[in-house]
């Protein structure tokens, strides 16, 4: 299957700091990237959809000024959590559109963010 990486895999930061999460599609080009958030024991919730070279589209209730998404190239998208607070602690997962030979949709391995 397609290879998708995320960095870092986990991060602990102090409240008020900003954290950048990178998502790379290593063996295919992704014009569209989806970012999800998953709280403990809950399902994945779509945060935003980004297209290479254009502004991201955010889901209702997601603050675009808090979760900055940049999709500058076909293989790299970044999510920056600005001025993180403990309630932002979550598991963040990216999913580049495509990449599968058939109908598979592959995800990044996820980034666990803990804000103290």
In the complex, which residues of this chain contact another protein (CB under 8 A)?
A: 1, 31-32, 34, 38, 42-46, 49, 51, 91, 93, 95, 97-98, 100, 102-107, 109-110, 112
Find the shortest distance in angstroms from Cβ 96 to another protein.
Answer: 9
Q: Which is nearer to another protein, 62 or 97 (CB)?
A: 97
Strands (E), the chain: 4-7, 10-13, 19-25, 32-38, 44-51, 57-58, 67-73, 76-81, 90-96, 111-115
Minimum separation from the CB atom of position 72 to another protein (A): 18
| CB 69 to another protein: min, Å | 15
Residue 96 near residue 25, CB atoms below 8 Å: yes
Instruction: Give the H/E segment covering residue 49.
Output: strand 44-51
Closest C-alpha to 7, from 81, 111, 113, 112: 111
Minimum gap (Å) between residue 85 Cβ and another protein: 22
Nearer to another protein among residue 15 and residue 57 (C-beta): 57
């Amino acid at each position: 299957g397609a290879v998708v990486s995320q960095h870092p895999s986990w991060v602990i930061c102090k409240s008020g700091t900003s954290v950048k999460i990178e998502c790379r599609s290593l063996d295919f080009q992704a014009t569209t990237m989806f970012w999800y958030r998953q709280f403990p024991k809950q399902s994945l919730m779509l945060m935003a959809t980004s297209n290479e070279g254009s502004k991201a589209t955010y889901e209702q209730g997601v603050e675009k000024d808090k979760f900055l998404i940049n999709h500058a190239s076909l293989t790299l998208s970044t999510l920056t959590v600005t001025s993180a607070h403990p309630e932002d602690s979550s598991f963040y997962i990216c999913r580049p559109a495509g990449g599968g030979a058939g109908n598979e949709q592959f995800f990044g391995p996820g980034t666990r963010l803990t804000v103290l």
